[in-house]
Amino acid sequence: MRPIRRGRALPAWMRAFVCVLGCVMAGPLQARELHGWSVHADDYPVNQGMQQFAQAVGRISAGEHSARVHGNAQLAPQGSVLGKLAQGEIDFAEIGVLGYGDRIPALRVLGMPYLFQDSEQMFALLDGELGRLLAAELRKYDVVLLGWYDGGTRNFYHRSKPLRRVSDFAGEKLRVAASSGHMQMVESLGGKPVPLPFKEVLGALEKGQIDGAENNLPSYESTGHYKLAPHYTLTRHLVSPEVLLMSRRTWEQFSPAAQLQLLEAGRLSAIHMREQWNRRLLEIQARLEKQGVKFHAGGDAGPMVRRMRPLYEPLWASADPLSRQALGLVLRSMAGR
């Protein structure tokens, strides 16, 4: 048997070759900074949840990696985020599900108006079977769901009047997220939907291109829309979730043990986000009233709900098995309320 030769260094070219080969075969994430996308400002509850997640990335990788949250849609335009996550150009992001039903049919059910009365009802489903079902579906789009964040209750607001009855909507130009369902929602109420990215709504209000929009209170305040459209009617037409997602390409570079820790960090960041959100909701109405916002009670929801038939019917008739399963879970929970 030939003795093992010790102490003889490999030539430099071979050392480099072995190193490169090892890295390619094992596919580890090279030590680097992960980049996260958010449409909101740094002090917004969404970003606070994401910042907690970013810190956890450092801990989970024992300081090898770090993560940074880029607010105000700095990394990419809103409409391109899902594609950039799938390509691994953005490592993680937080997005509202409303604009994504056209691309991911199973998410359409979560964008249906008048489905949930509040976030508690919504999370009772999303923190259970429905949430797991949708998380599995999202992986097919090359993204990994890390946490369900709160998109709260959305209401309509207008520059000069309350929007309480169906007749109040006639001919009003109202901004919606770029999704066919939400355009149809405003159309069905008799208004004129104007699809625009979130960041362009303020400019459109300033230029008089729209009469109003719809959103939750924290967004209405943080964007300054309340200064131009100070009539906020509690229509409560949508309660919607948001999601913290990681690019599957980034995800697959972590070890299985680290992936479990990332999932847990995502879940905890969502809890943190929801706490920050609820805290903000406590004082927001009083603060906005001091700024001159007029809050109006919503009218009878019955006639509004009846107008939503063109949105509900394609969902009832959907041939997509997952959409049917998701809808079944929602309907069962409604029956139990």
Work out whether 106 is an interface residue with ligand BDP (CB under 6 A). no
Work out whether 210 is an interface residue with ligand BDP (CB under 6 A). no
Work out whether 174 is an interface residue with ligand BDP (CB under 6 A). no
Cβ proximity to ligand BDP: between 168 and 221 the closer is 221
Cβ proximity to ligand BDP: between 39 and 57 the closer is 39
Give the binding range for ligand BDP (CB under 6 A) out of 15-23, 122-130, 212-220, 261-269.
Answer: 212-220
Note the maximum CA span of the chain: 94
Give the sign of the dihedral formed by CA 183, CA 316, CA 304, CA 104: negative
For ligand BDP, the nearest residue by Cβ is 96
CB of 96 to ligand BDP, least distance (A): 3
Name which of residues 132 to 161 contact ligand BDP (CB under 6 A). 151
CB contact set of 201 (below 8 Å; sequence gap of 6+): 175, 210, 213, 223, 225
Cβ proximity to ligand BDP: between 247 and 333 the closer is 247
Name which of residues 228 to 247 contact ligand BDP (CB under 6 A). 242
Is residue 162 within 8 Å of residue 233, measured between CB atoms? yes
CB of 272 to ligand BDP, least distance (A): 16
CB of 80 to ligand BDP, least distance (A): 13
Residue with tokens 């300054």: 224
CB contact set of 300 (below 8 Å; sequence gap of 6+): 165
Site string for ligand BDP, 265-304 (x = CB under 6 A): ----------------------------------------
Residue 152, helix vs strand vs coil: strand
Q: Which token pair is 156?
A: 């309509």
Selected from 96, 101, 131, 147, the binder of ligand BDP by CB under 6 A is 96
Is residue 113 within 8 Å of residue 240, measured between CB atoms? no
Which residue type, as a one-letter code, is found at position 162?
Answer: P
Q: Which token pair is 234?
A: 């509690």
Work out whether 215 is an interface residue with ligand BDP (CB under 6 A). yes
Nearest in space to 66 (alpha carbons), one of 26, 38, 101, 33: 33
| Cα gap 311→185, rounded to integer Å | 7
Give the binding range for ligand BDP (CB under 6 A) out of 12-20, 214-222, 227-235, 275-283.
Answer: 214-222
Which neighbouring-strand residues pair with 297? 234
Work out whether 250 is an interface residue with ligand BDP (CB under 6 A). no
Give the binding range for ligand BDP (CB under 6 A) out of 65-73, 119-127, 213-221, 320-328.
Answer: 213-221
CB contact set of 267 (below 8 Å; sequence gap of 6+): 146, 147
Give the sign of the dihedral formed by CA 133, CA 138, CA 143, CA 146: negative
Work out whether 219 is an interface residue with ligand BDP (CB under 6 A). yes
Name which of residues 38 to 57 contact ligand BDP (CB under 6 A). 39
Is residue 153 within 8 Å of residue 215, measured between CB atoms? no
| Cα gap 142→48, rounded to integer Å | 25
**294-297 vs 66-70, strand pairing mode:** unpaired
Give the binding range for ligand BDP (CB under 6 A) out of 60-68, 108-116, 157-165, 211-219.
Answer: 211-219
Work out whether 95 is an interface residue with ligand BDP (CB under 6 A). yes
Work out whether 113 is an interface residue with ligand BDP (CB under 6 A). no
Work out whether 177 is an interface residue with ligand BDP (CB under 6 A). yes
Number of residues that bind ligand BDP (CB under 6 A): 10
Binding site for ligand BDP (CB under 6 A): 39, 95-96, 151, 177, 198, 215-216, 219, 242
